Chain A
Amino acid sequence: MSRTLDPRAWLVWMLAASLPALIGRNPFVLVATLLAVLGARAAWGTAPRVASWRVVVRLAVWFAAIAVLFNLLTAHAGDRVIAELPAHIPIIGGILTVNALVYGLLSGLALVTLVLIGTTVAAVLDWTSLLRLLPPRLTLLAVAGSVAWAMVPQTIAAYAEIREAQLGRGHRTRGVRGFVPLLVPLLAGGLERSFLLAEALEARGFGAQPATPPPWSRGQSILTGCGLTAATIGAYLLAVGQPLAAIVLVLAGSVAFAIGSRESRSALQIQRTRYREIVWARPEWIITGAAAVVLAVEIAVLAVDPAAFAYDPYPSLAAPPVNLPLLAALGFLLAPALVTP
């Protein structure tokens, strides 16, 4: 196994790649993003965990297909009518249009693109390193988070084993109650594993503190809390279609959080150390640089031509706008393919 990349590089790439699918439905932009992500994913496809996320991608494709069908059957709007279902049929009764089909397809495309971005990063990211990027004050939280992450594959394997065991007993999962024979052993087994893990952590000195960390000052607490709140509101604004305000808030919130959780000089008495120093080298520069270019172009386009991301097939179907600089910039998302392990 070669060196894993600094997780910050992947996070910047993820942000740049996700933005188009989060804020618009322009088919050219979506397809360009999807192709770039598929290229990067194919180049990193040998990473051991990529295969384990295939099931999530398959699920996303299923959901996307359902979304297309749902939109086609329920939208009843647009100027290109394909067929008409009797109006007395609840919900699906009415005209079926190409417009609805196109909007459904674009929504599905955005969903699959986002899932591909998320699963690619989840597969290649070194989660332990990521959590260890948290400030030293949050070390215990970081370790607990990385330990919890390490339990995910065990839990997935346990669920598969339980499902098979109950199926072999003749049990088919039907309805909510049908999950009881699956979830009870999963929860009970999870508790047992957690108990054993807690014992193992205690036995290995987890939580031992050579020095007492100083308490948080009121200013630090307020700044950290404000930062987290701002970032959360920013995420909400992004979801409701206010990308510029969202980006400003997320950036401001992150800065406030970083300053608030920074250690004072006395806090450096905490002697916990790190075995694996995170290395920032050429591959990290390439991915981050390329993603930064994409982000800069995206923000610039948002400022001067926000319609470049958008496309609305209602009420009439028209050609989507084309923004060549944006499409060209999205090609930079292929940068991870240049630095494969």
Chain B
Amino acid sequence: MSGAAAAVLRGVSYRYPERTAFALRGIDWTIEAGSFVVVTGPSGSGKSTLLRCLNGLVPHFSGGELGGQALVAGLDTREHGPRVLSQHVGFVFQDPEAQLVTTRVDDELAFGMEQRGVPPLTMRKRVEEVLDLLGIADLRQREVTTLSGGERQRVAVAAALALQPSILVLDEPTSQLDPWGAESVLAALSRLNEELGLTIVLAEHRLERVMARADVLRYLPDPGMLGFEGNLRDVMVKMEADFLPPLVQIARDRGWRPLPLTIKEGRAAVRRDRAAGWEPPSLVDSSRPSGAPVPRVEAARWTEVRAEHYEVLSGLSTGRSVHTSTHRPITVVRVSAGFNGTTVLSDIDLEAGPGEVIALMGRNGSGKTTLLRLLTGMLRPTRGRITLFGQDIAALDPAEIGQWAGYVPQNPGSLLFAETLRDELAFTRAHHPRSTVNSAALMARLGLGDLLLTHPRDLSGGERQRAALAAILIGDPPLLLLDEPTRGMDGRQKRILAGLLRDLRSEGKTIFLATHDIELVATTSTRVILLGGGRIVADGTPRQVLSGSLTYATQVNKLFGGEYITVADVYTAPHSQSWREHARLADADGT
């Protein structure tokens, strides 16, 4: 770090138009030139707002009331808006799709320079430079619609860098990427920071991805609160456990000092503990459920409760009777599928029983969403057969399949359209006349009890995700299909979702979960299916699939090896209050 300030905020407060509460209050913050700063905290705590103060989007674009002073590259953001500040501050947004404005990669990189009137010769030189810096030269002439999420974000970073800013600000740039895509973006950022001295300010929920790279951590606890900052070890000691990576949770539990920031440092601490005679508890005798196969609800017992209900339902919609007592919820036999002439899945065989939470994992494009769409009947197999409670779904249309299989898409905005959440539930219920689920009880269970009369678009990201889930659960489908349900969620919201999934599992629902979130999979699923090259490459319990994996191992597994995959696996004694709290809330379900 050079010691000079890249940006200085003095007593910055901000309130959005027509809001009474402050989104930011009294922020004093100096960003050293050449530093790598991470901003973290719960959803809605003001991270994005704070970042937007750095390039003048707040208040020039958003309106509202700004107090205090923000000096960026020596310019007062009150007097200079984003158009001027774009020369000094590059900004990368969360959504890789929404921020690319042209159709071709090289046009995208040149866009900002064209707006600035940079001479064509200089422009072409800089395009070449940023292509090389980000390692995306092979993408130069690609259409942006053909890029993966990771590639798009690297293009967005390159486009921001082409204007040669002194600060690069990134708002959760990896939240929608798979682990490899995220790593490619973060590795590029590290290189820019270390080799070019570029100042980087990055908002991020998943600290495990960035804590080895950052110099400074700023924590915003809740909307309008001051929070605190410092080096990562000092800040993480004081943070709420929900927002900490497993490595740091264990370190705090074990009293490791200094806190390890990398797996390598963590392993050294484990070796020290083991040398001192400490061992994590044996998993053989453990009664903990996390990651372990959950005893399946016996099909016959489960269907005793439901058989009549679903037979009536099936009779209503199709005129055919479905004998749920003798068939598994899902059977997939030698199914192949694809679209636009491309085969995405080949020869998939799969059975799912009641009470199973099946995590579908694999890199972007491996076929997770395609498999979910097959199960909903939205996509028809090119070969093979899928049965739902013994009935071939080729004979059913997607609306009929929806009676049994509830699908929650990645983007909850695709589902929610009504004026209030109550209307939203009523809409689903009108299509599921036999459902006996109580709306008020369901909303209370999802933590949305006070929001029945709220417009879905007024909800926060996590609330919207749960509202979409409620809009499906109100129909009481025995099969639940969730596509990337933790996208953009903070640690606290994920804990609530994990608890809910465990509850649904214990009620006998079959749940499919397409996700990149390894920690969520470790704590909630009973089975993991790994997709690769259009096929199932692994199918087993989370311990079998995640343990020892080079890319899918959890932090706990990387630390302790064996079949340890969750924090609860290595929990031994209540060393600290924070640990007890975390253990009770996050992992103690069913123990």
* Chain A residues proximal to chain B, CB less than 8 Å: 1, 48-49, 51, 127-128, 143, 146-147, 149-150, 153-154, 158, 161-162, 164-172, 180-181, 184-185, 188-189, 192-193, 196-208, 210, 271-277
Query: A9 vs B406: C-alpha distance in the bound complex, in angstroms?
Result: 51
Partner of A275, one of B106, B340, B406, B471: B106
Instruction: Judge whether B82 and A1 touch: CB under 8 Å.
Output: no
Partner of A172, one of B101, B399, B401: B399
Is B539 on the interface with A (CB-CB < 8 A)?
no
CA of A170 to CA of B415 in the docked complex: distance in angstroms? 12
* A276: contacting residue among B87, B106, B457, CB under 8 A: B106
Q: Is B489 an interface residue (CB 8 A)?
A: no
Query: What is the bound-complex CA distance between A188 and B413, given in angstroms?
Result: 8
The one of B82, B84, B93 in contact with A196, judged by C-beta atoms closer than 8 angstroms, is B93
Residue of B nearest to A274 (CB): B114
Q: CA of A24 to CA of B119 in the docked complex: distance in angstroms?
A: 50
B144 smallest CB distance to A (angstroms): 8
Question: Could you jot down 30 A-B contacts, CB within 8 Å?
Answer: A49-B143, A150-B101, A168-B376, A169-B471, A169-B475, A170-B403, A170-B432, A181-B427, A188-B417, A192-B413, A193-B98, A196-B98, A196-B99, A202-B60, A202-B86, A203-B91, A204-B101, A204-B111, A204-B112, A208-B115, A210-B116, A210-B117, A273-B114, A273-B120, A273-B123, A275-B110, A275-B120, A275-B123, A276-B106, A277-B120
Given A169-B471, A205-B116, A200 and B99 contact (CB-CB distance below 8 Å): yes
Going nearest first, the 7 A-B pairs with the smallest beta carbon separation are A170-B431, A271-B117, A275-B110, A205-B86, A184-B417, A196-B98, A203-B91
Please determine whether B407 and A165 come into contact, CB atoms closer than 8 angstroms.
yes
Assembled-state Cα–Cα distance A201/B340 (Å):
32
Q: Is the interface of A mostly helix, strand, loop or mixed?
A: helix
Interface residue count on the B side (C-beta < 8 Å): 75
14 additional A-B pairs beyond A189-B414, A207-B83, beta carbons within 8 Å, are: A1-B141, A128-B104, A150-B144, A168-B398, A168-B401, A168-B406, A169-B415, A169-B471, A196-B98, A197-B99, A197-B101, A201-B101, A204-B112, A275-B114
In the bound complex, residues from chain B placing their C-beta under 8 Å from that of A184 are 417
Given contacts A170-B399, A204-B159, contact A273 B101 (CB under 8 A): no
Whether B402 and A185, one on each chain, are in contact in the complex, defined by CB atoms closer than 8 angstroms, is: no
Q: Which of B353-409 contact A (CB under 8 A)?
A: 373, 376, 378, 398-399, 401-403, 405-407, 409
- Encoded as 1 (CB less than 8 Å from any A CB) or 0, chain B from 109 to 149 comes to 01111111111100110010000000000000111111000
Q: Which residues of A contact B60 (CB under 8 A)?
A: 202
Most chain B CB within a 10 A radius of its CB, from A149, A162, A172, A276: A276
Q: Among A51, A143, A208, which residue has its beta carbon within 8 angstroms of that of B83?
A: A208
B interface residues (Cβ-Cβ under 8 A, vs A)? 55, 57, 60-61, 81-84, 86-87, 89, 91, 93, 95, 97-104, 106-107, 110-120, 123-124, 127, 141-146, 159-160, 163, 340-341, 373, 376, 378, 398-399, 401-403, 405-407, 409, 411, 413-417, 427-428, 431-432, 457, 471-472, 475
The answer to whether A154 and B97 have CB atoms under 8 Å apart is: yes
| CA–CA, A207 and B472, complex, Å | 44
Q: Are B114 and A164 in contact (CB under 8 A)?
A: no
- Chain B positions within 8 Å of A154 at CB level: 97-98
B103 touches A150 (CB 8 A): yes
Kindly list chain B residues whose C-beta atoms are within 8 Å of the C-beta of A274.
114, 120
Given contacts A165-B409, A181-B427, A197-B98, contact A272 B115 (CB under 8 A): yes
A-B contact number at CB 8 A: 184
Q: Given contacts A204-B160, A275-B124, is CB(A48)–CB(B112) below 8 Å?
A: no
Complex partner residue of A164 from B83, B111, B403, B409, CB under 8 angstroms = B409
Assembled-state Cα–Cα distance A204/B159 (Å): 9
Closest-CB distance, B158 to chain A (whole angstroms): 12
Q: Which residues of A contact B406 (CB under 8 A)?
A: 168-169
B117 touches A200 (CB 8 A): no
Q: How far apart are the CA atoms of A294 and B472 in the complex, in Å?
A: 59
B100 touches A180 (CB 8 A): no
* CB < 8 Å neighbour of A169 from B83, B378, B428: B428
Give CA–CA (A205, B114) in the complex, Å: 9
Please pick, from A192, A203, A271, the residue contacting B55 in the complex, using a CB distance under 8 A. A203
**Distance from B579 Cβ to chain A, minimum over Cβ atoms (Å):** 39
Of A162, A170, A184, most B-chain CB atoms within 10 Å: A170
Most buried by A among B87, B409, B432, B471: B409
Complex Cα distance A306/B103, Å?
Answer: 42
Name the residue of chain A whose CB is nearest to the CB of B116: A205
Q: Which residue of B lies closest to A1 (CB)?
A: B141
Nearest Cβ in chain A — how far from B521, in angstroms? Answer: 23
Partner of A205, one of B83, B119, B471: B83
Pair A168/B93 contact, Cβ less than 8 Å: no
List, in ascending order, chain A residues with CB within 8 A of B163's CB: 204-205
Which residues of chain A are within 8 angstroms of B104 by Cβ–Cβ distance?
128
Q: Which residue of A lies closest to B115 (CB)?
A: A205
Give the distance in Å from the alpha carbon of A203 to the alpha carbon of B83 in the complex. Answer: 6
Question: Would you call B398 and A276 a contact (CB within 8 A)?
Answer: no
B114 to chain A, nearest CB (A): 6
CA gap between A88 and B414 in the complex, in Å: 49
Judging by beta carbons under 8 Å apart, are B414 and A147 in contact? no
Most buried by B among A149, A193, A199: A199
Shortest CB–CB separation between residue A147 and chain B, in angstroms? 5
Residue contact B413 to A205, C-beta cutoff 8 Å: no
Contact of B101 among A147, A162, A185, A272 (CB under 8 A): A147
By a CB distance below 8 angstroms, the chain B residues around A181 are: 417, 427
By the criterion CB–CB under 8 Å, are A275 and B127 in contact? yes
Chain A, residue nearest B428 (CB) = A169
Partner of B143, one of A48, A162, A164, A189: A48
Do A128 and B102 form a contact, CB below 8 Å, given A204-B112, A208-B86, A275-B124? yes
List the B side residues contacting A1 at CB < 8 Å: 141-143
Find chain B residues with CB under 8 A from A192 CB: 413
**Do the beta carbons of A206 and B83 come within 8 Å of each other?**
yes
List the A side residues contacting B110 at CB < 8 Å: 275-276
The answer for the CA separation of A127 and B103 in the assembled complex, in Å, is 9
- Give the docked Cα–Cα distance between A87 and B78 (Å): 78
Q: Using Cβ atoms and an 8 Å threshold, which residues of chain A touch B402?
A: 167-170
Residues on A with beta carbons closer than 8 Å to the beta carbon of B97? 154, 193
Of B86, B113, B414, B416, the residue contacting A161 (CB under 8 A) is: B414
How many Å lie between the Cα of A172 and that of B57 in the bound state? 42
Residues of B within 8 A of A161 (CB): 409, 411, 414
Bound together, the chains give a CA A149 to CA B98 distance in angstroms of: 13
**Measured between alpha carbons, how far is A198 from B82 in the docked complex, in Å?**
12
Complex-state Cα separation, A273 to B103, whole angstroms: 18
Q: Quick one: which of A48, A147, A149 contacts B146, CB cutoff 8 A? A: A48
A205 to B475, CA, bound (A): 48
Q: Which of A1, A180, A188, A208 has the most CB of B within 10 A?
A: A208
How far, in whole Å, are A199 and B99 apart by their CA atoms in the complex? 8
